[in-house]
């Protein structure tokens, strides 16, 4: 038990070090609602149970260190379940170290923003069912019936990850029984039939989603680590079976375990260094810090060779601290476009714009950006953007629309108080400030360029100090040019 706790803590600490902001982002992309209709609706979806479990889990990830601990628990569970499954084939435990290979690939999945935590949960659910299956009493009829029932049930509850069970259980039986175990081919067959039914009834969008981890992507992506995690399970079962054919000594057992762990860590570490996108991660970090108003930390993390895509958050932080005009030139500005530099990801770009425009008091532009960023979020429930949507709709008098978003946040654990407070927010300084900054004469957003927009807002509400600083710097940059 102590060993497990130590491993858990070590993994959590590692995740905290390299992926801290990823977890806050996961929380913002998977809002769990305490609402009967939402629960029933989600359970009706393919993989709905795993999705609910993932959403429930991820709601806590806004608490520092909760994300790494929860995800480490999942990885530990994946490792232990795999080890236990492998021990059925190779009781000596010689493959125990390699049992962490699926977890290593799961870790790499985190790097893809489009791969949802849902996929993690579904994979572990499939491992749980496979573990239960391999530990059930002998008797081929009972096992056949169990497998045949388990596949479609698991498919509906967890989605395409049921393939891990179907293939794993089939291979397990064939390796165990030889030709006499061929009845287990029924499991992949049932999986194919189930997938066919779900595809034909449009409960799944297509064959690729129906049979592979692509079901768990929010956007089409060519990122194969989830597939490696899945494939590693039957491959490890096969390897365990092969290993069990050879006698092992205690020393070699220990060496194999150590080698397995080393290989898992090597794969995770080596591939991580190759696939890790620092630019993406920095954007996640800046977005989180900006959302929390931690302007000092954004400024502290900047340097003179600040990448251009990070300049916008930095500019915002400097403006919030009243230092924009004074320090803008220090951080590698290219030209006037450095005021509002585009970022290399549409969703992050929209999030950035909603944040910056909101701070300017640019209500309609902030509302548009928040809407689009929210739309890019699976389920269209991104609390950061919903907050902006509530504020901007209230400021522009669209109370009924704001009410719709308030009702969503009121069904969450961590945002319900804030949402409730917005119902009585007639005197809220932010809303009042936003109202004041709406120019009395209508224009079109970005039609006269950014400068024209800033001038309009600054003129409408001279107390908007952020936009005034941006405007000041803009004019300076124009002169420099």
Partner 1 sequence: MRRIILYMACLFACASCSREIEVAGYMGSQPEIFPDYRDVTIPSNIAPLNFEFIGDTGRADLVLLVEAPSGVRIIRPHGRLFSFRERMWSELLAETSGRGMIFRLCVRTREGWKAYDPFVMNVAKEPIDPYLAYRLIPPGYSLWKDMYICQRNLENFEEKKIYSNSQGKGNCVNCHSFCDRDPDRMLFHMRSELAGTYVWREGQLEKLETRTSQTMSSLVYPYWHPSGRYVAFSVNRTNQVLHVSDDNRIEVFDEDSDVVVYDLENHTVVTTDVLKSEDAFETFPTFSPDGKSLYFCSSKAVSPMPEKFKEARYSLCRVDFNPEDHTFGDKVDTLYNADTQRGSVSFPRVSPDGSRLVFTLSDYGNFSIWHKEADLYCVTLSNGNISELDWLNSDGVESYHSWSGNSRWMVFSSRRDDGLYTKPYIAYMDAFGMPHKPFLLPQKNPGKHYEALMYSYNIPELVSGEVGLDGRKIADYAHKEKGKQIGYIKQ
For residue 105 the two structure tokens come to 């690939």
Residue whose entry in the numeric block shows the structure tokens 């860590």 = 265
> For residue 1, what are the contacts with CB-CB under 8 A and spacing of at least 6?
none
- 62 is a contact residue toward partner 1 (CB under 8 A): no
- With CB under 8 A as the contact rule, the residue among 22, 62, 156, 367 that binds partner 1 is 367
- 96 is a contact residue toward partner 1 (CB under 8 A): no
Residue 217, beta-bridge partner list:
115
What is the distance between the alpha carbons of residues 324 and 452, in angstroms, rounded to a whole number? 19
CB of 206 to partner 1, least distance (A): 6
CB of 273 to partner 1, least distance (A): 31
What is the distance between the alpha carbons of residues 386 and 406, in angstroms, rounded to a whole number? 8
CB of 163 to partner 1, least distance (A): 20
DSSP SS3 for 212: coil
- 38 is a contact residue toward partner 1 (CB under 8 A): yes
- With CB under 8 A as the contact rule, the residue among 134, 267, 336, 438 that binds partner 1 is 438
DSSP SS3 for 3: helix
- 119 is a contact residue toward partner 1 (CB under 8 A): no
Q: Which is nearer to partner 1, 146 or 396 (CB)?
A: 396
Q: Which is nearer to partner 1, 408 or 473 (CB)?
A: 408
Q: Which is nearer to partner 1, 244 or 382 (CB)?
A: 382
For residue 151 the two structure tokens come to 């596949």
- 52 is a contact residue toward partner 1 (CB under 8 A): no
For residue 141 the two structure tokens come to 């009829």
- With CB under 8 A as the contact rule, the residue among 24, 133, 348, 371 that binds partner 1 is 371
CB of 402 to partner 1, least distance (A): 9
What is the distance between the alpha carbons of residues 383 and 238, in angstroms, rounded to a whole number? 45
- With CB under 8 A as the contact rule, the residue among 199, 235, 325, 413 that binds partner 1 is 199
CB of 373 to partner 1, least distance (A): 9
Compute the CA torsion angle 411, 72, 5, 61 (nearest 10 deg). -30
Q: Which of 103, 104, 347, 369 is nearest to 219 (CA)?
A: 347
> For residue 205, what are the contacts with CB-CB under 8 A and spacing of at least 6?
none
Q: Which is nearer to partner 1, 292 or 446 (CB)?
A: 446
- 459 is a contact residue toward partner 1 (CB under 8 A): no
Say what angle helices 278-292 and 311-320 make with each other, to 10 degrees. Answer: 20
What is the distance between the alpha carbons of residues 208 and 161, in angstroms, rounded to a whole number? 12
- With CB under 8 A as the contact rule, the residue among 184, 408, 419, 454 that binds partner 1 is 408
Long-range (24+ apart) CB contacts under 8 A made by 246-253 are 248/92, 248/94, 252/94, 253/92, 253/93, 253/94
Q: Which is nearer to partner 1, 40 or 480 (CB)?
A: 40
- With CB under 8 A as the contact rule, the residue among 64, 139, 206, 344 that binds partner 1 is 206
- 439 is a contact residue toward partner 1 (CB under 8 A): yes
What is the distance between the alpha carbons of residues 60 and 70, in angstroms, rounded to a whole number? 9
For residue 115 the two structure tokens come to 């791969």
- 43 is a contact residue toward partner 1 (CB under 8 A): no
Q: Which of 121, 110, 116, 115 is nearest to 53 (CA)?
A: 121
> For residue 245, what are the contacts with CB-CB under 8 A and spacing of at least 6?
none
90 sits in the region (left: phi over 0; alpha: psi -120 to 50; else beta) called: beta
Binding segment for partner 1 among 36-44, 261-269, 315-323, 324-332 (CB under 8 A)? Answer: 36-44
CB of 479 to partner 1, least distance (A): 26
- With CB under 8 A as the contact rule, the residue among 365, 390, 419, 450 that binds partner 1 is 365
CB of 151 to partner 1, least distance (A): 21
- With CB under 8 A as the contact rule, the residue among 407, 430, 432, 480 that binds partner 1 is 407
Q: Tell me, by CB under 8 A, how many residues bind partner 1.
A: 45
- 35 is a contact residue toward partner 1 (CB under 8 A): yes
- 132 is a contact residue toward partner 1 (CB under 8 A): no
CB of 442 to partner 1, least distance (A): 4
- 346 is a contact residue toward partner 1 (CB under 8 A): yes
- With CB under 8 A as the contact rule, the residue among 3, 17, 179, 441 that binds partner 1 is 441
CB of 36 to partner 1, least distance (A): 8
- With CB under 8 A as the contact rule, the residue among 10, 135, 193, 205 that binds partner 1 is 205
Render the burial of 28-40: b for 16+ CB within 10 Å, e for the rest.
Answer: bbbbbbeeeebee
Q: Which is nearer to partner 1, 234 or 361 (CB)?
A: 361
Compute the CA torsion angle 349, 390, 118, 50 (nearest 10 deg). -170
Q: Which of 139, 230, 233, 147 is nearest to 177 (CA)?
A: 139
Interaction mask 376-405, partner 1, x per CB under 8 A: x---xx--------------xxx-xx-xx-
Q: Which is nearer to partner 1, 247 or 440 (CB)?
A: 440
Provide the binding-site residues for partner 1, judged by CB under 8 A: 35, 37-38, 41, 199-200, 202, 205-206, 219-220, 346, 350, 363-365, 367-368, 371-372, 375-376, 380-381, 396-398, 400-401, 403-404, 407-408, 438-447, 453, 456
């Amino acid at each position: 038990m102590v060993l497990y706790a130590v491993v858990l803590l070590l993994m959590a600490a590692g995740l905290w070090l390299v992926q801290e902001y990823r977890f806050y982002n996961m929380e913002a992309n998977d809002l769990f609602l305490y609402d009967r209709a939402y629960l029933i609706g989600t359970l009706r979806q393919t993989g709905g149970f795993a999705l609910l479990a993932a959403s429930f889990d991820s709601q806590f990830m806004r608490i520092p260190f909760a994300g790494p601990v929860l995800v480490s628990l999942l990885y530990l569970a994946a490792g232990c379940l795999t080890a236990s499954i492998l021990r059925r084939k190779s009781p000596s435990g010689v493959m125990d170290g390699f049992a962490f290979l699926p977890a290593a690939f799961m870790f790499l999945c985190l790097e893809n923003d489009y791969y949802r935590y849902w996929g993690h949960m579904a994979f572990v659910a499939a491992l749980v069912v496979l573990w239960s299956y391999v530990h059930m009493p002998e008797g081929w009829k009972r096992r056949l019936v169990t497998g045949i029932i388990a596949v479609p049930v698991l498919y509906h509850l967890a989605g395409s990850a049921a393939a891990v069970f179907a293939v794993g259980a089939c291979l397990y039986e064939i390796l165990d029984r030889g030709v006499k175990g061929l009845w287990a081919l029924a499991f992949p067959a049932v999986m194919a039939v189930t997938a066919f039914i779900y595809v034909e009834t449009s409960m799944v969008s297509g064959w690729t989603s129906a049979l592979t981890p692509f079901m768990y992507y929010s956007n089409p992506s060519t990122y194969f680590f989830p597939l490696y995690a899945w494939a590693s399970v039957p491959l490890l079962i096969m390897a365990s079976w092969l290993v069990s054919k050879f006698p092992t000594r205690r020393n070699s057992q220990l060496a194999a375990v150590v080698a397995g762990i080393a290989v898992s860590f090597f794969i995770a570490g080596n591939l991580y260094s190759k696939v890790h996108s620092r630019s993406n991660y920095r954007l996640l970090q800046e977005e989180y810090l900006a959302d929390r108003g931690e302007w000092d930390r954004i400024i502290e993390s900047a340097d003179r060779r600040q990448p251009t895509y990070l300049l916008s958050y930095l500019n915002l932080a400097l403006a919030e601290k009243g230092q924009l005009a004074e320090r803008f030139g220090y951080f590698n500005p290219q030209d006037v476009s450095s005021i509002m530099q585009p970022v290399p990801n549409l969703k992050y770009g929209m999030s950035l714009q909603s944040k910056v425009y909101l701070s300017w008091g640019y209500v309609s532009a902030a509302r548009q950006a928040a809407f689009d960023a929210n739309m890019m979020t699976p389920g269209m429930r991104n609390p950061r953007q919903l907050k902006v949507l509530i504020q901007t709709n209230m400021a522009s008098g669209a109370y009924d629309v704001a009410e719709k978003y308030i009702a969503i946040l009121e069904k969450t654990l961590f945002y319900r108080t804030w949402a409730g407070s917005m119902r009585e927010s007639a005197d809220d300084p932010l809303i009042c400030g936003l109202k004041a900054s709406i120019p009395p004469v209508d224009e079109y957003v970005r039609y006269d360029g950014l400068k024209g927009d800033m001038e309009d807002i600054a003129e409408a509400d001279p107390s908007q100090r952020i936009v005034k600083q941006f405007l000041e710097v803009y004019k300076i940059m124009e002169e420099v040019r």
